[in-house]
Structure formats: C-alpha cells, structure tokens
Amino acid sequence: MATSNSVSVTGERTLSSAGLAVRKPRNWLRGDMLIAILVLTPSIIAVALFIYSFIGWTFYISTVKWNSVIIDYTFVGLKNWQRLFQDDRFYTDLRNLVYYATGFMTQCIVFGFIIASLLDQKIKGEAFFRTAVIFPFAVSGIVTGVAWRWLLQPTTGINLLFAKIGLTNFHPVWISDPNYGMWAVTIPAAWQFTGYVMALYLAGLRSIPQEVREAAAIDGAGTYTIYRYVIIPLLMPVTFTAIVLTGMNSIRVFDLVSAMNGSGPALATDTLAFFMFQTTFGAYRYSLGAAIGAFMMILSAFLVVPYLRSMRQEVEQ
C-alpha cells in the first residue's frame, strides 16, 4: 500500500489503485453499493409507478367501458380503438399531424442549420444574434400562442406589413383558413423551436475540426462543395437528433393550438393532444381518451426507441 501511494502522477498509479480496489475488503465496497441502490430506490419506484405503471394503466383503460363520469372497468376489448379508428376527427388529426410535422420540422431544421452556419463565420456580436434566436424558447407555448394570434389576425399584424410593402392583395387568413390553418400554426411553432435546433447545429459545427475544412479547401473544394460533401454529412447525427426532437414535439402539440385557435374552423388546427384532452376532460369519455393517449404513445415510441438505441453507446461510455 505504501508503494502504491508513493508512485504518483505516472500511469502506474491508476494501475496500482485499480489493483488496490480489488484487494480492499469487498464487503466495505458492497456495503456502500447497497446504500447507493437503496438511495436510488425511491426514484425507481416513482418512475415505475408514475410513468410505467401509468402507461400500462392507460392501455388498460382503453379496453374498458369507462366513457362517462362514472368509473366503469367493464372489459370491452378493442371497442374504443374501433370507435377511434372510425372517427373522422381522428383522421383529420392525422392529416394535421402530417401537415404540422412537415412544416414545423422543415422550418426548424433548414433555418436552424442556416442560422448556425452563418453564426459560425466568426461573426461580431454572435452572442447577441444567438440570444435573439434562442430567446423564444424561454417563453411558454401559451405566451407564444397569445402573441402570434394577434400577429396573424387577418386584418392586422403580419398582413399589415405585407400591405405596407405593396402586397395589398396578399392577405391570407392564416390560422383561420379551413384548409391551410395547420401550416400557419407551424410558423409560431418554428419561431419558438428553431433556436433549439440552431444551438444543436452550432455545437455540431464547432466540434468539426478546422483541419477537415482546410483539407477540403486545399483539394480545391468551394464553400458549397464543402458544405454539401463534408459538413452536412458530418452533421448527420445532429440532424437525426433534430428530427427526433421536432418529431416528438409535433405529436404532442397542445399549448400552442389551445392559445391560438383551438380546433379551428372545420378542425383545421385540431391535434391529437387537443382531441385527447377534450374527449377525456371535456366529454368525460375516459376510455376513448385513453385510446388516443395510448395511440400518441405508440407513435412517439417509433421515434424514441431508435433514438435511444443510437444513444445507447454514448450513454454507456
């Protein structure tokens, strides 16, 4: 032991201390390991109970007859699911999800990448621009919705700016449009979330060694070629992260539509989350609501599982 202490700073130290850990009485270690497990146990129970058992419970509720204020756990099989799959509103919401996800994800990823690339050009005042772009992420979906409902009023707001620059005939009704309302909702949604994606890309760009770009430049590659064949492929993991995060955000969108236009005309801005909330806590059709919630869960799992699988190595270090 004395020798292992005296051999310091060199690489041998880790070796000897590793050997020491093996030689040290194991009970002592095991005792502390036991304490660690015991301390973690309440959290494990909380997560097991409040997340995993609740998920199972939701699936179970979706198979019973509880569609009024009175709790009724009579098993009815997949009847609620059948009802859900026959509901026109469900399909409208799926269509809206496709619109929303397409518009929202495209805007976040394209603008997030462009802004990050611009900010990576040794910009004076980078902190200011970065702060401005991420700023919206600090406020809630409700605040965002309230502000943008005013900005997207057909008679004023953005349309007034269009009129000022001469586009007097261009006055869309934005979120009140029965066909394109959902696309309009993606504008404030992306306004809020682009900063997040930008931050991811900026960190990614900063982690690319300067030599990589220089090597490409020496080979005669122009800016476009470097981005197209070097930087964008290198940033694929970031893009994957961004797709998963924005995708999950699309599935659960609730606050923003609540604050803006609710379901909108002809359910133009209705979402699964909004449908679930109204069915459950408005109409007290708990089992049907549980089926919608469970469906949202399954949809998200398609994104979460591959994402976490790809992260597994990173997590296990």
Partner 1 sequence: MSLQRIWTRGAIYLVLLALAAFYLMPFYVMIITGLKPYTDVNVTRMWELPKGFYLGSFLEAWTKVAPNFVNSMLITIPAALISSFIGSINGYIFSKWRFRGADTIFMLFLVGMFLPYQGILIPLVQTLQVLKLYGTIIGLILVHCIFGIPITALLFRSYFAGVPNELLDAAKMDGCGFFGIYRWILLPISMPAFAVVLLWQFTSIWNDYLIGLVVLSSPRLAPINVAVQNIAGSFTTEWNVQMAAALIAALPTIIVYLALGKLFMRGLLAGSLKG
Q: How far apart are alpha carbons 234 and 48 in whole angstroms?
A: 38
Footprint of partner 1 on residues 252-311 (CB under 8 A)? Answer: 252, 254-255, 258-259, 272-273, 276-277, 280-281, 286, 289-290, 292-294, 296-297, 300-301, 303-305, 307-308, 311
Nearest residue to 182 (alpha-carbon basis) of 103, 277, 87:
103
- Determine the distance from the C-alpha atom of residue 59 to the mean position of all C-alpha atoms in its chain, rounded to a whole number: 23
Residue number with CB closer to partner 1 (78 or 118): 118
Residue number with CB closer to partner 1 (268 or 291): 291
Q: How far apart are alpha carbons 206 and 235 in whole angstroms?
A: 11
Q: How far apart are alpha carbons 270 and 258 in whole angstroms?
A: 9
Residue number with CB closer to partner 1 (15 or 179): 15
| 94 is a contact residue toward partner 1 (CB under 8 A) | no
Beta carbon of residue 177, minimum distance to partner 1 (angstroms, whole number): 19
Of residues 64, 235, 251, 267, which one binds partner 1 by CB under 8 A? 251
| Structure tokens given for 210 | 């300067």
Footprint of partner 1 on residues 108-147 (CB under 8 A)? Answer: 111, 115, 118-119, 121, 123, 127-147
| 32 is a contact residue toward partner 1 (CB under 8 A) | yes
Nearest residue to 137 (alpha-carbon basis) of 182, 200, 184:
200
User: Residue 292: which residues within 8 A CB-CB, separation 6 or more?
Assistant: 84, 90, 272, 275, 276, 279, 280
Residue number with CB closer to partner 1 (49 or 179): 49
Residue number with CB closer to partner 1 (33 or 179): 33
Of residues 43, 86, 169, 210, which one binds partner 1 by CB under 8 A? 43
